[in-house]
Structure 1
């Protein structure tokens, strides 16, 4: 399963390279603090930063919302930082007078939390982009390329698909629905396969493997250096009771592992389609699913070099 990937999060690159239109209304809704929304959406920081670049008046409203989320989060983190600093001071005072395991544990936990909080605050305040800013994980909202009305459109979607018609609790009951196995496309995913196809652009993907009883996170990168075009299924979920907001979400399709991925210890690989198949993939004919399988069979096979993730 592809649990994480380093994606292309800059919406402008989709415009330049694919001639796509960006659904700015949906991106605005993603960050809009309406309906008493108290938690910011999970997004790769690179996506936030792509809207925070100065000089683009068309996304000024979106940038203002993101800055407000940033300022609120920094304020909350600074309050927590002060609490953890007091906690650390109390633990160190106890250790200085009467060392105990409890005090040592408090020192370790508070010290770790302080470092985590400081890193997050620094991330929210910096404007320069770092590689880790582009990581997506299940639950994150990412740019997904789809076809709509004969045009390529970029929409924000959550990485964990909740198919239309399924109850909201499926998110917890089936937490692995950020991936769709090729073997189950005409079963669990039958209302999406052949109907709602998308693409995510990524430079590398990450998998957990177990070697000699130890778990390792591996980073896989195409030796060619080309971005991967990851085949996805997506769905527009609506609450039949009208109580919850609409949800756009997607799953990456996985296939049998490439030989080098299997040798590294993992049993699935994302489907990296060829650029010449983009139009056919994004405009499927549900009456001809074999044409979609043919796209899978003609996928790109770059050698995926791997290393232990930093």
Structure 2
């Protein structure tokens, strides 16, 4: 299972290198949702987007819609900063009280409060520093299940870039599928024609551009995270399935899953049993137009894929 990946998140680069049109209405909707839900439902409910995608709009907005998105991001971040500063004040007061108690009459509760408050203060200060940072770092492009990422699709014969959630909810299923099937951020190649994925395999395909991916493996009875990178440094055009799900209130959800297959020998030797499927560049347009091909032909695109030699190391 590809539980995390480092992606190409800056939308202008897709325009430059792949000639895509930006699905700007979907980007506006996503960031409007993030802007409004943070205020109405709390920050924990807002859509998660990689900082690299946010910075693409904040650093170089070129249209009125992009400037609107930049405003949404700026205002949402300001509210988030206020919330974290408020919590930081609470934890600092908690720490002072605990230290005063420990100085006069030590108790187990005061010890716990000192430890917990200290840890939370460190965490909150790190979050605030990261929120306020404007210079990009490599980790800004990392996504996890439930996060949004830019995905290339085909509409009207044109490549279009749309923001989608990395956990696919196929059209027509109930919303609780996310909870019942939490692993649907990946789609096994040997299950694509089965009951779940046949709703989207051969119907709606996408491509996500990935630098590297991360997997959980067992080492000496403990879980560790390994980072896998093509030895030649190439980017991977990862085959994806996606769907447009519409809720009872008419609110749409665009979501996707990365296709996975049996791992190459070096990934298997590292302890993992699955691997994402990177398409050959010459197969991208065929993959993005599944209606023009049989399921057997589409499967052959997955078989005739790029096969980089992966190097791995413990993730930082």
Same fold per superposition (TM over 0.5) = yes
Q: Relative to 1, partners in 2 of residues 1:166 and 1:55: Cα closer, same or farther, differing over 3 Å?
A: closer
Answering whether residue 13 of structure 2 is matched by residue 13 of structure 1, we say yes
Q: Deviation string for 1:53-87 (max 9, x for gaps)?
A: 14624411110010000100000110000011111
1:87 corresponds in structure 2 to 94
Instruction: Tell me the number of residue pairs that the alignment of Structure 1 and Structure 2 aligns.
Output: 308
Counterparts of 1:244 and 1:105, CA distance in 2:
47
Which range moved further: 5-14 or 110-119? 110-119
- Out of 259, 263, 267, which is 2:269 matched to? 263
Answering whether residue 243 of structure 2 is matched by residue 235 of structure 1, we say yes
- Gaps in structure 2 of 5+ consecutive residues: none
- Out of 237, 240, 247, which is 2:253 matched to? 247
Q: Deviation string for 1:265-296 (max 9, x for gaps)?
A: 11100001111110111011376111111111
Which secondary structure state, in structure 2, belongs to the residue aligned with residue 128 of structure 1? coil
Cα distance, 1:97 vs. partner?
Answer: 2.5
1:75 corresponds in structure 2 to 82
Counterparts of 1:130 and 1:23, CA distance in 2:
26
Which range moved further: 39-48 or 61-70? 39-48
Cα distance, 1:258 vs. partner?
Answer: 1.3
Q: Relative to 1, partners in 2 of residues 1:200 and 1:280: Cα closer, same or farther, differing over 3 Å?
A: same
2:287 corresponds in structure 1 to 281
Counterparts of 2:164 and 2:311, CA distance in 1:
28
Counterparts of 2:151 and 2:204, CA distance in 1:
12
1:40 corresponds in structure 2 to 46
2:30 corresponds in structure 1 to 30
- Out of 180, 200, 204, which is 1:196 matched to? 204
Counterparts of 2:114 and 2:4, CA distance in 1:
32
Cα distance, 1:104 vs. partner?
Answer: 2.3
Q: Relative to 1, partners in 2 of residues 1:294 and 1:287: Cα closer, same or farther, differing over 3 Å?
A: closer
Answering whether residue 88 of structure 2 is matched by residue 120 of structure 1, we say no
CA contact (8 A) 2:61 2:70 kept: no
Cα distance, 1:37 vs. partner?
Answer: 4.9
Which range moved further: 246-255 or 288-297? 288-297
CA contact (8 A) 1:40 1:69 kept: no
2:304 corresponds in structure 1 to 298
Q: Considering only aligned residues, what root-mean-square deviation do their CA atoms show, in Å?
A: 1.5
Answering whether residue 62 of structure 2 is matched by residue 56 of structure 1, we say yes
The normalised TM-score by structure 1 is 0.96
1:215 corresponds in structure 2 to 223
1:2 corresponds in structure 2 to 2
CA contact (8 A) 1:46 1:134 kept: yes
Answering whether residue 171 of structure 2 is matched by residue 164 of structure 1, we say yes
Which secondary structure state, in structure 2, belongs to the residue aligned with residue 167 of structure 1? coil
Which secondary structure state, in structure 1, belongs to the residue aligned with residue 211 of structure 2? strand
Structure with higher helix content: 2
Which secondary structure state, in structure 2, belongs to the residue aligned with residue 252 of structure 1? strand
Cα distance, 1:96 vs. partner?
Answer: 2.3
Counterparts of 1:201 and 1:176, CA distance in 2:
20
Q: Relative to 1, partners in 2 of residues 1:285 and 1:71: Cα closer, same or farther, differing over 3 Å?
A: same
Counterparts of 2:11 and 2:68, CA distance in 1:
16
